[in-house]
């Protein structure tokens, strides 16, 4: 469904990614883990068209993405839930959700999708007229995920969805991601909480200093001694 091949990204003279290759099959949950500065966010930004690669290929359902605008990538069915959520604080919850439908042509189905988001996220339904900036951190993350769903994304790129959240909310967010995947959305998940990410992922990649150093089934990656020492801590 999504294939990245030999991706290199530079910021000036700094090489943020070098020859990164990964694949995401339809229906998958794929985790991308690594330390701060490893290049995880850059990988997602390159896929979604926010960063132009220096070299390499990004293909979605066989179509090359590397020269497409972020708007075009979104319209093709790839939604990016960025680190920090990037909600519109002065707009209501429902206005934030509806903003994600601007490029959709199937206007008759927008209400149907809004109802689906509210059924998945009843807390947003309760706060639909509330300004998004007044929501808690967990509710804002739910809103960011709900907004991606409103774009009818087939692939969701999630950047640190559990960052800054209390443990009970982290569990809730990961349960939500599992339900979204069960309903048919493919997930590529960047997450510092490697333990939780590897529990829900089917496949995983470990990124260090801009390079993929380990790849495989999530269970196998989680059992690797170096991964356990670096990212999982004591069992």
Instruction: Provide the pLDDT for residue 153.
Output: 87
Count of CB atoms situated within 10 Å of the CB of 97 = 26
CB 147 within 8 A of CB 100: yes
Instruction: Provide the pLDDT for residue 75.
Output: 86
Domain count, the chain: 1
125: in domain: no
- 0.85 surpassed by pTM: yes
49: in domain: yes
CATH number of the domain enclosing 1: 3.40.50.300
Q: What is the pLDDT of residues 24-66, one digit of tens each?
A: 999 999 999 988 888 999 999 999 999 999 999 999 999 999 9
Instruction: Provide the pLDDT for residue 162.
Output: 86
In terms of Cα–Cα distance, which of 52, 45, 9 is closest to 211? 9
Structure tokens at 92: 């209501």
Count of CB atoms situated within 10 Å of the CB of 23 = 15
- E strand or H helix at 203: strand 203-208
108: in domain: no
6: in domain: yes
Structure tokens at 94: 């429902």
In terms of Cα–Cα distance, which of 178, 193, 206 is closest to 33? 206
Instruction: Provide the pLDDT for residue 235.
Output: 42
What is the SS3 assignment for 79-139?
EEECCCCCCCCCCEHHHHHHHCCCCCCCHHHHHHHHHHHHHHCHHHHHCCCCEHHHCCHHH
Q: What is the mean pLDDT of each run of 10 residues along the chain (235 residues)?
A: 95 93 95 90 95 95 92 90 85 91 73 88 91 89 90 91 86 90 94 90 94 93 88 60
133: in domain: no
- Cα–Cα dist 196/198, whole Å: 6
Instruction: Provide the pLDDT for residue 100.
Output: 81
Instruction: Provide the pLDDT for residue 233.
Output: 61
114: in domain: no
- Cα–Cα dist 68/47, whole Å: 10
Q: What is the pLDDT of residues 13-35, one digit of tens each?
A: 899 999 999 999 999 999 999 88
Domain containing 219 equals: 1-77+155-166+190-235
Distances (CA, A) of 215 to 16, 204, 206, 208: 19, 6, 6, 12
147: in domain: no
């Amino acid at each position: 469904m999504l294939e990245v091949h030999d991706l290199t990204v530079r910021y000036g003279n700094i090489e943020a990614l070098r020859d990164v290759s990964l694949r995401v099959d339809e229906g998958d949950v794929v985790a991308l883990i690594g330390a701060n500065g490893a290049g995880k966010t850059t990988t997602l930004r390159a896929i979604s068209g926010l960063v132009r690669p220096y070299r390499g290929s990004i293909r979605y359902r066989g179509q090359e993405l590397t020269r497409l605008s972020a708007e075009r990538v979104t319209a093709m069915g790839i939604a990016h839930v960025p680190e920090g959520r990037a909600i519109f604080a002065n707009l209501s919850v429902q206005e934030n959700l509806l903003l994600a439908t601007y490029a959709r042509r199937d206007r008759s189905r927008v209400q149907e999708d809004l109802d689906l988001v509210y059924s998945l996220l009843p807390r947003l339904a309760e706060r639909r007229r509330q300004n998004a900036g007044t929501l808690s951190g967990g509710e804002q993350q739910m809103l960011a995920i709900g907004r991606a769903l409103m774009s009818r994304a087939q692939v969701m790129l999630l950047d640190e969805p559990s960052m800054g959240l209390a443990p009970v909310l982290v569990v809730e967010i990961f349960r939500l991601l599992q339900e979204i995947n069960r309903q048919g959305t493919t997930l590529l998940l960047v997450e510092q909480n490697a333990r939780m990410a590897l529990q829900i992922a089917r496949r995983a990649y470990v990124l260090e200093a801009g390079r993929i150093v380990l790849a495989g089934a999530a269970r196998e990656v989680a059992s690797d001694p170096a991964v356990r020492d670096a990212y999982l801590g004591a069992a």
